A and B are shown apart, each in its own frame.
Chain A
Amino acid sequence: MNNKMNKLNLTLSLAFIAQITFAQSSSSESSGYLFYGVVALCAVLIIWAMLSIASNLMKIEGAKHGIKEEKMGFFPTLKDFIKPIKPAFINEGSFHHLTKGYDIKLAGEAKPIVENASVSRFAIRPTDFHGMSPIPKMEVEAGADVKAGDVLFYDKKRPEIMYCAPVSGEVVEIRRGEKRSIAEVTILADKELRYKTVQAPDVNKAERSEVVSFMAANGLWPLINERPFDVVPDMATIPANIFITTFDTAPLAPDNNLVVAGKEAAFQKGLDVLSKLTSGMVHLGLDGRGKTVPSSAFSDAVGVGKHWFSGPHPAGNVGIQIHHVAPIKGHDKVWTLTVQEVITIGQMFLTGQYHADRLVALTGAELKDPKYVRTYQGASLGDLLINNLTGDNNRIVAGDVLSGTQATAEGFLSFRSDQITVLKEGNDYELFGWLLPLAPRPSISGTIPAYGGKDFKFEANTNTHGEKRAFVVSGQYEQVLPMDIYPQHLMKAIISNNIEKMEGLGITELTEEDVALCEFACTSKNPLQSLLRQGLDTLKEQL
């Protein structure tokens, strides 16, 4: 934005000067005025350049001594005039305004009405957890009756960490995939859920180890995601910090104010539990864009660090927030959770029961009725979408369009997803589609006309809009990633399998969702998310 304004100003002033000089040279025969005008202009430019270098040097020196940048330097920068307006409701905590990124505005936003979904089948998939052995040890058999919170299976490498049933009912199928790996454990849910009730330790009095082993034994541990690598953490790990983002900027993402409504106490309890687990702090990323006021459960949470973020997607991604609050250094581990997962942890410590209910946003232009439904982890997509699809050339995405996974109506929500997006398949040819894009499509490029203005909601389809090419240095990745990282160099390091370079370029700070927007914007249509995962897997093997 700032950069664009500068360019615009420069172009305008150059055009203006050219206009004057041209008028002069045509009106009088002698071109002396023009010449001296140019010399004077150059002199002014040189003086300005020297002053601004001096001013920048002062700022750098000032920064070494801990003086804030704004207090040093000669000139008011353009930033001073168009400073981000900090919303009035921000009461405490730091404020970060991010300028890089892009909001993909799609049609089919969920209406803020919550309905209870009638879903009969739920599944937990071992494949949702990176690094888990393909054949976990099953604690139940097909036909067994389970309560919500009963153990379903555990990883043989880490037998203390239990994976539990989100609902009560009958285990109807244990579906096997390749080489007898376990793909899905499906439960046919009861009409009225029955919960296994346990005695939760008192967070204020209990030891950390007691809390940890309680969480692992009752299915709460897999809710925690560890960065780098996006894995379920080891029980011995003590994280440097825990990060929770309370808003989601991804296309059509659910509104966390709705999620937390009525569950404020459980959320706070969850935060209290997590504070016990880290050597650092629990950090909340809050919505500082100013459009909506965050729920008081977020803004008035106690015992946590608060950080407000404003700016386009990916400002709501936890990875971006970590980068701006307390970047992952060396071999540090950082844990991340979503709001719904914190609530589940809180409810366990409040009631002693495993409440894995999830508010799921049904979104996308191909839905008759986009809305919110209340269901449980791993709900069947077919049941959620019944009588809601228009047409049959659709793609169902479990998650958002950037980092979700492709699914069918026979599939299930993944362990962490809280959104379903349905959009049109783009499997048709388009005459001169690359040159004359007639149908509106989202793009970060100014060369594609913004039909319908700034707030137009696109009905995007899944067409790739071009073929795969080699990387071309076009600066698009950097334009949409508000981090101090060079994504293209990192991707090339991954392709060439250069582990040292990968680490040096900051691979440990990234996971798939952070580079998803770069992948969307990529001119060469390269699969950045799968490349990044490949790099993370290689790095993990080396450790």
Chain B
Amino acid sequence: MGLIDFLKSVEPDKKNSPLLHTAYDAFFTFAYAPNTVTKAGTHIKDGMDLKRLMVIVVLAMQLCYLFGTYNIGHQHFVAAGEYLGFIEGFHLKLAHGLIKMLPIFVVSHIVGLGIEFIYAAKKGHAVEEGYLVTGALIPLIMPPDIPLWIMSLSIIFAVIIGKEAFGGTGMNIWNIALLARVFIFFAYPLTISGDQCWISGFEKISDGAAANYGWWHTGLFNSLFEWMGLTTFDTTTTVVNGFSGATPLALAYEGGWEKVTSVFSESQMIWGAIPGSIGRQ
């Protein structure tokens, strides 16, 4: 029995459980390109479909993700006054970045796709792929310490008001990802503006504030790094004296170009090794 026969044998009933069927259909068409043939009009069709188009966009974002994830860790340790060189403490920075970024990425997709599935089941059409791109864009424009419930709220608002209310993918009148950010900016401004939000992993950004390490840091990664003979997360880490967490723009507002260059070098700003949203580089 091939995979396709197995998949066909577990197909849920469309009438009794529409939501389940929609989810099944989404995963089935993910695994297998459907066997539909052209009816009227052109008899052959381009190999490109919406799934592929969207996935190509997501692939194009991966470099941004890679750098953004690492930069979360880098900024964390710069604030702590440790591993100031960009490559120093590579494993710690990457681990911290992943700990911060992955939950945001996963929650963004679960919440957004969940809404898509519900609406697709309700309207009786296949799940459209527009959210694949939105779901990958939203983490890139969020600060690394964003509370997940706030982000979930913003996604629910953006997807329902920005897209589903107007008929779904292709009929939205606003950019969903930006609408999510706008929602947070007005509803919970402190989580997405000011000096406090751009550096992750501390109680708050002020002199001597303690690092906020959880099980993932001290339990999982520390034991892993110990076993590999690498340096580990130090729970006594604090914010170094005199560190403000301000972004270059905030510094420029205070004291002009001089003030900016006293904290960041030009090449840091060109390459993006500065505090900010995950994907702002």
Contact = CB atoms under 8 A, between A and B. Distances in A.
Contacts of A428: 35
A247 interface: no
B55 A435 contact: yes
Interface stretch (A128-136, A303-311, A419-427): A419-427
A437 B267 CA distance: 41
Contacts of B50: 466-467, 469, 472, 523-524
Interface string A389-407: 0000001010001111010
Contacts of B128: 469-470
Name the residue among A428, A444, A476 with the largest chain B CB count within 10 angstroms.
A428
Contacts of B55: 434-435
A462 B53 contact: no
A450 to B, nearest CB: 11
B32 A423 contact: no
B44 interface: yes
Contacts of A527: 40-41
B258 interface: no
A530 B34 contact: no
A520 B44 CA distance: 7
Nearest to B268: A31
B126 A442 contact: no
A402 B44 CA distance: 7
A474 B42 contact: no
A52 B168 CA distance: 41
A471 B170 contact: yes
Contacts of B37: 395, 425-427, 462-464
A410 B265 CA distance: 78
Contact of A520 (B46, B170, B265): B46
B45 A447 contact: no
Interface residues of A, number: 62
A445 B4 contact: no
A423 B43 contact: yes
A447 B48 CA distance: 8
A249 interface: no
A219 B172 CA distance: 53
Contacts of A444: 46, 48
Given A470-B169, A472-B169, A431 B3 contact: yes
Interface residues of B, number: 41
B114 interface: no
B43 A404 contact: yes
A462 B169 contact: no
Given A429-B33, A429-B35, A470-B128, A522 B168 contact: no
Name the residue among B40, B42, B265 with the largest chain A CB count within 10 angstroms.
B42
Contacts of B42: 401-403, 516, 519-520, 529
Contacts of A397: 43
A441 interface: yes
A34 B53 CA distance: 37
Contact of B40 (A434, A437, A529): A529
Contacts of A421: 43
B267 A31 contact: yes
Contact of A462 (B33, B43, B46, B129): B43
A427 B34 CA distance: 8
B260 to A, nearest CB: 12
Name the residue among A460, A461, A469 with the largest chain B CB count within 10 angstroms.
A469
A472 B167 CA distance: 13
B242 interface: no
CB-based closest 8 A-B pairs: A466-B49, A433-B33, A470-B170, A441-B47, A443-B47, A430-B33, A429-B32, A460-B44
25 contacts: A25-B267, A38-B266, A401-B42, A431-B32, A432-B32, A435-B52, A442-B44, A445-B52, A448-B48, A460-B44, A463-B33, A464-B36, A464-B37, A466-B45, A466-B49, A466-B51, A469-B49, A470-B170, A472-B130, A473-B170, A520-B44, A520-B45, A521-B48, A523-B46, A530-B40
Interface of B: 3-4, 29, 31-53, 55-56, 126, 128-130, 167-171, 265-267, 270
Interface of A: 21, 25, 31, 34-35, 38, 104, 395, 397, 401-404, 406, 421, 423, 425-435, 437, 441-445, 447-448, 460-467, 469-474, 476, 516, 519-525, 527-530
Given A25-B267, A431-B33, A464-B37, 13 more contacts: A38-B266, A402-B43, A425-B37, A430-B32, A434-B49, A460-B44, A461-B44, A466-B51, A467-B126, A469-B129, A470-B128, A470-B171, A527-B41
